[in-house]
Amino acid sequence: MSLSTSKLERAAFIHKKLDEFFPETPIPLDHKDPYTLLIAVLLSAQCTDVRVNQVTPHLFKQADSPKKMVQLKISEIENIVRPCGLAPRKAKAIHGLSQILLDKFNGEVPNDIIELEKLPGVGHKTASVVMAQAFGVPAFPVDTHIHRLAQIWKLTNGKNVKETEKDLKRLFPEEAWNDLHLQIIFYGREYCQARGCDGLRCVLCKKMYPDRKRAISYNKA
């Protein structure tokens, strides 16, 4: 494999290898239903999944549904989620979206990405994760790991996560998007960390670009 290899060929190779590396794609955020997943994903912004999984049991013991959540004060939610960072903003969003779910959706998380994106604290990535992992709808949420690796692997010239998402959706089959989203994240965390691989060291980088001599720079998300 070389620099002349097409994006589609590289994508097919990456897809095959990631299936070998990660045949199973467990959802990394602990949850029991779409609502608890939505809250966990919201809390994961600028926070590790491990930390979120340490915090959510305490939160969900107090309130694991919109009805119970709105009965808490925002300050109570804030105190619980503080270890996740951005606590004031996240607590306000959790309380606010829970009230909207009660008022507009009978307490249920809507299976509609447009409606999800209207909820406080829920951007396109969070909504896409919920659509993929809670409802099984094909989506390709792009986080910092995916944005970085897609550039290092020359799958995109995207200057931001939205452009990268469009490029990846064109390169990979729709039925594989949900698994690939997690597989690329898992690969980035385990084999191709930002400080551990600069496009020269991990197994996929070396296999696809054996003649690469210089570290690869990339646009941060």
* Catalytic residue set: 125, 143
Those residues with Cβ within 8 angstroms of residue 104's Cβ, 6 or more apart along the chain or in another chain:
none
What is the token pair recorded at 160?
């931001």
Q: For residues 82-91, b (16+ Cβ closer than 10 Å) or e, as one string?
A: eebebbeebb
Query: What crossing angle do the helices spanning 177-190 and 124-135 adopt, rounded to 10°?
Result: 110
Nearest CA among 63, 45, 44 for reference residue 54: 44
Those residues with Cβ within 8 angstroms of residue 193's Cβ, 6 or more apart along the chain or in another chain:
none
At position 73, the amino acid (one-letter code) is K
Is the Cβ–Cβ distance between 72 and 44 less than 8 Å? no
Report DSSP state, residue 109: -
User: Which element (helix H / strand E) includes 149?
Assistant: helix 144-152
User: How far is CA 72 from its chain centroid?
Assistant: 28
CA–CA distance, 60 with 80 (Å, rounded to integer): 10
